[in-house]
A and B are shown apart, each in its own frame.
Chain A
């Protein structure tokens, strides 16, 4: 016997925003229980969306048939009504010792009775979703699943604009795919900006515009509003402003190289004319070398934000510096 039977918890809570991580954990648990139980006769699977909680608890209180354990699985636990969750937490306080009850789903708040009850017996298995850093790549592969190509740069902008919520990201991806139509294979940075503008995220671009205009008051006001209403995080605003700095640097260098025609500048930057038409004038308001210094300051401030300094304060200080 490989597994000491007593190491199996009577109740597991398997939680991840990523369905496949839930599936993976469930199948491993199933395999473990399968080593000591004939699951053909000793397993029930419910879906919380339409399950009757009494039936779940009834199945859990049933004795195993010719085995040491029964396995009862409830999927989509987040769809279970509150009364059901309460009944399950009562069960978890005094579970049947011969059953492994696996409650699986996208989420369950840590402060719920059920979570605490399962945590107390050591049965919570939480699987992490992609980190913020991994999200742009995740976005690219989600687009790829829908037959669209997205550059990493556009994917990063996409994440900054849409935010970190996987569900919202999925919804915005559908919109972007519909927006470009099925004949277009590549989704560009310009497309992302247009989709964002169309879905009420226009203020984000007002913010980067204020940065380029070096309008301190407007930039701070918009940043406060965007952060306050939860439209964007400090990190996202910082990343977007850095992109604007890069655009300004590009325009400044191109102008110095003798490219002055707006159409030529746009072509060299790979952007539509309308998106960059104000940049040459805005770039002139920065002294030579100033933009580069601000970009280096941006690297410093991002490091400060990521090491736990007050992100809002760091962002505001940097904005003031840019607008200087």
Chain B
């Protein structure tokens, strides 16, 4: 599992040393820019703590932690629009005091630690200082400055550095054996996050969703209104298709665990599986938007005769025509449409409607790219 931590030798050495020497603190704060691999590291750390073989990466425990469905490794994200709300923290604190379901301990992976405000942060301090002995809290944040000092002082800080794009590309190619072209497209789809790009490369379904958005963009200018609606539908279907891969893994897990678990726990497991599917669907939509954004950017850099900056070289045929006519301001308008879709989906607007509106906006730009 430590293998999942890409390009972060110092953080890896530190965490690994803590586990192997048996000197694990009760609270950590992982700090680093988006895409640096904090979440992968947090999961690898959780595996090392929970797995009987110190995080082998191959057993059911490791597999479920990686997929975010292990009952004793809880991923916590802010529920309020502005961050962590008091009720969520109260609930979290109560949960911390319940027993682990399976293993010897529980690990909480708490994202966006900068989004604790004074009130929710203070409510959490006592627990952060002295959680039950069988609990490890891993908080994550982009920068140290944004986190309440009272939280920082109660955690062991672990820093993650930003990988340069060329470095990310090299690491990804080395770990997966992918060709430069594939790796570059995967990184663009994964928003530059190496760990996600790696998963992306391993998933035929997610690569197929990328193909669908690329094909849609290629033909978008000549599509009629109904074609566009159908393309949006097809895109969402393609985003959902990789979920079948997840479902297959889930079914296998249900079968192997059925003998070991009571009915109640099985139902709880199914519930966790459902949540996993929702999260993956969101991620899938995000990937499609990343690809669209990268494609438009590629058209722009081609129009500026900078072909070496293209990140989707496998789709460059379709870009040539657009690149001949597109202006920087037209490209900016199209990029804004993609961003708007991303923003709307984050507000829980139906992904279908958000993507339809985006495709109609981009079509307008492609038809009249001035």
Contacts and interface: CB of A to CB of B under 8 A. Distances in A.
Nearest to B349: A302
B76 to A, nearest CB: 14
Contacts of A184: none
Given A256-B224, A299-B349, A302-B350, A21 B101 contact: no
Chain B at the A interface: SS class: helix
B208 interface: no
A18 B270 CA distance: 13
Interface in B312-352: 343-344, 347-350
Interface stretch (A27-35, A83-91, A201-209, A226-234): A27-35
A25 B267 CA distance: 12
A124 to B, nearest CB: 8
B265 interface: yes
Contacts of B270: 20
A216 to B, nearest CB: 22
B344 A303 contact: yes
A23 interface: yes
Interface stretch (A39-47, A49-57, A61-69, A242-250): A242-250
Given A28-B99, A126-B91, A249-B226, A306 B134 contact: no
B46 interface: no
A246 B271 CA distance: 33
A27 B349 CA distance: 36
Interface in B114-157: 132-134
A171 interface: no
A134 B226 contact: no
Interface in A234-271: 239, 242, 246, 249-250, 252-254, 256-257
Contacts of B350: 156, 239, 242, 302
Interface size class of A (residues with CB under 8 A): 35 or more
A250 B348 CA distance: 25
B97 A3 contact: yes
B132 A122 contact: no
A238 B98 CA distance: 42
Given A32-B98, A257-B224, A141 B264 contact: no
B349 A2 contact: no
A133 interface: yes
Interface in A133-161: 133-134, 137-138, 141, 152, 156
Given A125-B94, A246-B229, A302-B344, A292 B360 contact: yes
Nearest to A256: B224
B357 A295 contact: yes
Contacts of A221: none
B277 interface: yes
Given A23-B268, A31-B101, A296-B360, A4 B132 contact: yes
Contact of A250 (B226, B349, B353, B360): B226
A250 B229 contact: yes
A291 B225 CA distance: 9
Contacts of A138: 274
A94 interface: no
Contacts of A242: 350, 353
A307 interface: yes
Given A249-B229, A253-B226, A24 B271 contact: yes
Interface in A294-310: 295-296, 298-300, 302-303, 306-307
B25 interface: no
B41 to A, nearest CB: 26
Given A3-B99, A20-B268, A253 B353 contact: no
B277 A137 contact: yes
A295 B98 contact: no
B227 interface: yes
B353 A298 contact: yes
Given A133-B278, A152-B240, A299-B357, 19 more contacts: A2-B132, A3-B99, A18-B271, A20-B267, A24-B264, A24-B265, A24-B267, A31-B98, A31-B101, A122-B94, A137-B278, A242-B353, A253-B227, A254-B226, A292-B360, A295-B356, A299-B356, A302-B353, A306-B348
28 contacts: A2-B99, A8-B97, A20-B267, A21-B268, A24-B264, A24-B265, A27-B265, A29-B98, A31-B98, A32-B99, A126-B91, A133-B348, A138-B274, A239-B350, A249-B226, A249-B229, A250-B226, A253-B224, A253-B227, A254-B226, A292-B360, A295-B353, A295-B357, A295-B360, A298-B353, A299-B349, A303-B344, A307-B347
Which 3 residue pairs are nearest across A and B when measured between Cβ atoms? Answer: A253-B226, A299-B357, A32-B99
Interface of B: 90-91, 94-95, 97-99, 101, 132-134, 224-227, 229, 240, 264-265, 267-268, 270-271, 274, 277-278, 343-344, 347-350, 353-354, 356-357, 360-361
Interface of A: 2-4, 7-8, 18, 20-21, 23-25, 27-29, 31-32, 35, 122, 125-126, 130, 133-134, 137-138, 141, 152, 156, 239, 242, 246, 249-250, 252-254, 256-257, 291-292, 295-296, 298-300, 302-303, 306-307
